[in-house]
Amino acid sequence: MTAREKDEQHRASTPLELLFDLTFVVAAGHIVDQLAHSLEAGHGWSALGTFLVVFFAVWWAWMNFTWFASGYDTDDVPYRLFTMLQMAGVLVLAAGVPAGFEHGDFRGITIGYLIMRAGLIAQWIRAAVSDPRHRGVSQRSALGFSLAQIGWLLRLLLPAPLALPSAVALAVADMAVPLWAERAGGASWNPHHIAERFGLFTIILLGESVLAASTAVESALHVAGHKGSLAVVAVSGLVLVFALWWLYYLQPAGEGLQRRRHLAYVWGYGHYGVFAALAALGAGLEVAVLRSGHRLPAADEVISAAVAVPVAFFLVLLWAVHTRLAPGVGTRAVVVLPAAAVVLVSPLATGVLTPTGVIAVVAMICSAVVADTVLCRSREPR
């Protein structure tokens, strides 16, 4: 197992990576469903901490595999088997998501994380043995992730009041491992491959929004009346998802990572917020569609905020993680920041517009940002 070349041309996602991603479709789907149920019951704010912790576990598992695969995807028999082990861990983690949301029971998630980590650590050990040129990075990664995993296991013994603070501390420690390992020598990863992988994960999360809204529409169609409101929410939700997809792919991440590899960690870690916002949006759209055909315990302002707030965060974070990577390209601060501010405060107009109207306004604002970015890109010299 030797490192692949950093500047390998035409590097694309492999069929195994795409198969691996399917496990995250399941995990992300469970998270979106659980957050949507909490929002429907009017418990959205109390579920926010759990959502952020559980989503971190899913996102970080995907990150660990993705960056390792970018450098060491040998696609031989041991690599495939260790990848299958990691897939099993992600599925166990996904199965533990409902218990984490409903009862604060993170045992299933932690066990799944342990299985996933066993496969990843074995891969790093194999790389350390096989690739002397990058042995320091591999050894530090194996050691750091092993110690972090011990910490996650010990966390299960802590009392409930320490659950969230300990999770934050362990998350910070976990994310410090690659930074520490990098100091032993530059890790091998392909910038265009990484950019493609992040784009595919974006599509997975946007797909959860489409699925959640579709499921909610199916449920709402069985209720008499409200068909006009339902149609507006459904169309606005589709336009919104399409606009956010368009905005993400207007950012030239591959070229930026190739020119500014030193910003890779800022860019990659910043995507936690980008991805979490998309997952939260899926839950918000599901609840908004249900509201168009049912009365829900959640206040209308909360339902509007469940869509608007994730979109506002997505717009700002997407601009922030790309602005240093590719200065002067992509969304413009003079447009995206005011647009995000308007989206953020739009739930205050729920009493006049209703959640349906707020979602339509948010979709129009995001479409306007897309139009501005496309027009600016078209004026750039070729």
Looking at residue 198, its pLDDT comes to: 94
Q: What is the pLDDT of residues 189-220, one digit of tens each?
A: 889 999 999 999 999 999 988 887 777 777 66
**C-alpha to C-alpha distance for 231 and 292, rounded to whole angstroms:** 9
pTM exceeds 0.85, yes or no: yes
- Whether 20 contacts 83, CB under 8 Å: yes
- Whether 148 contacts 172, CB under 8 Å: no
Any idea where the domains of the chain sit in the sequence?
Answer: 15-182, 191-379
* Per-residue model confidence as pLDDT tens for the chain (382 residues): 887 877 778 788 899 999 999 999 999 999 999 999 888 888 878 888 889 989 999 999 999 999 999 988 888 999 999 999 999 999 999 999 998 888 888 899 999 999 999 999 999 999 999 988 888 999 999 999 999 999 999 999 988 888 889 989 999 999 999 999 988 877 778 899 999 999 999 999 999 888 877 777 776 666 665 567 788 888 899 999 999 999 999 887 888 888 888 888 999 999 999 999 999 999 999 888 887 766 777 788 999 999 999 999 999 999 999 888 877 777 888 999 999 999 999 999 998 988 889 999 999 999 999 999 999 877 766 5
Q: In which residue are the tokens 């994380």 written? A: 113
The class (CATH top level) of 191-379 is mainly alpha
C-alpha dihedral, 195 to 201 to 206 to 209, nearest 10°: -160
